[in-house]
Amino acid sequence: MIGLVKWVLGAVLAWSLYWAGAGWWMQSNIANWFALQEARGWQADYADLGLGGFPARHVTTIDAPALADPATGTAWQAQRLEIDSRAIWPGHVTLRFADAPQRLSYFDQTLMLMTQDMAADLRLHPGLALELEHLSLTSGPWSMEEEGEPLARADTLVLSKAQQQTPEVYDITLRAQAFAPGERLRRVAEMTQTLPETFDTLELEATITWDKPWDRGAIETARPQPRHVKLRLADAKWGALRLLAAGEFTVDQAGIPDGTITIKAENWREMLAIAREAGVLPEQAYGPAERTLRMLEGLGGNPNALDLRLNLRGGAVALGPIPLGPAPRLVLR
């Protein structure tokens, strides 16, 4: 019996020493990482580091983290970030964000993100590169605003990113429940009897091939860039309005897409009117667009639905035969 007690006490002491040593190593790595980014010219600050979770986990708390990359103009600030991992293996990490505003900036544009119960589960491959195998980001009610003007809100957010057999390929899914657009579109919705305040459906499924896998270098050096996008489904339903899209396109070194996306629009006339009221579609373009789409509508069997192709060619984008202008450059800064 005495021998068993000694064995148990020895095991507890050994585990306690391991837990303390691993926790100290983790905190040191975080502090060194912030110092390294600061030496590279970043703003990389935090107020304090804390450690808890004994005996089964390591929970590192970073108070008031702030990161800013002057090379890209991007910055992020939060009240608190918790990094939670199993004590026996730190490759499965959960990030928890405080229920307080997060500041997201790109040069002189600043967005405020408010969330509840926002957390990200990450599974990382063994090794110093910390290559991402799977990401699951979830949040309760969230909202985003710019200079006090609401841009969007929703009851939930679910984002999944899963690495495939080819390390550069990731499956992406995104869903938001009870998504409500910003103030301008909400005002349009209030003028339209058929539109509720929130979307019935908002989801996206895609497979993206990047120029390199996602790992710690995505934060420290340069973001991976998309090279091929297969959009399996994009579905947005807002009352009687519904927009479905699928297709695929490549992206060159300059970020210019080339390919085709098939779009199905239900009750497209009302969509066109909303685009005009919201200022997305210029008044002078409304008449020609409406006449052209009405002509194309006659080619299908459903008078309320419109099937079109969004063509991305030579740096330009066109909706069927209607040129829309230059194609957006898909470059992650």
The sheet with strand 149-154 has its strands ordered as 43-45, 66-69, 74-77, 102-106, 109-115, 142-146, 149-154, 180-181
Q: Give the closest residue to 216 by CA, choosing from 28, 71, 33.
A: 33
Residues 98-121: b if buried by 16+ CB within 10 A, e if exposed: beebbebeeeeeeeebebeebbbe
Does a structural domain hold residue 167? no
State mean pLDDT over 128-134.
92
Q: Phi and psi (nearest 5°) for 158?
A: -130, 120
**Within a domain: 184:** no
96 assigned to some structural domain: yes
Report in angstroms the alpha-carbon separations of 252 from 72, 104, 255: 20, 27, 5
Gap between the Cα atoms of 62 and 57, Å rounded: 16
pLDDT on residue 321: 76
CA angle 155, 246, 157 (to 5 degrees): 15
In the chain, the percentage of residues whose pLDDT exceeds 70 is 91
pTM score, whole prediction: 0.89
Stretch 60-65: mean pLDDT: 96
Percent of the chain whose pLDDT exceeds 90: 57
How does pLDDT run across 66-90, given as a tens digit for each residue?
A: 999 988 889 999 999 999 998 887 7
Q: What is the pLDDT of residues 181-227, one digit of tens each?
A: 887 666 666 656 567 889 999 999 999 999 999 999 998 888 999 99
The Cα–Cα gap between 214 and 102 comes to 23
Give residue 64's domain range. 1-115
Closest by CA position to 125, among listed 186, 214, 232: 214
Distances (CA, A) of 331 to 68, 71, 210, 223, 252: 18, 14, 11, 9, 10
Residue 167 sits at φ, ψ, to 5 deg, of -60, -25
Q: Specify the DSSP class assigned to residue 327.
A: P
Give the list of residues 6+ apart from residue 289 with CB closer than 8 angstroms, or none.
272, 281, 322
Q: In the structure encoding, which two tokens stand for residue 281, read together? A: 């579609």
Average pLDDT of the residues of the chain: 88
How many structural domains does the chain have? Answer: 1
What Rg do the C-alpha atoms of the chain give, in angstroms? 24
23 within domain boundaries: yes
First to last CA, the chain: 63
291 within some domain: no
Identify whether 236 is part of a domain.
no
Question: CB-based contacts of 281: which residues, under 8 Å, 6+ apart?
Answer: 272, 275, 289
Closest CA to 134 of 27, 75, 239, 213: 213
| 27 falls within a domain | yes
The reply to whether 273 falls in a domain is no
Is 82 in contact with 61 (CB distance < 8 Å)?
A: yes
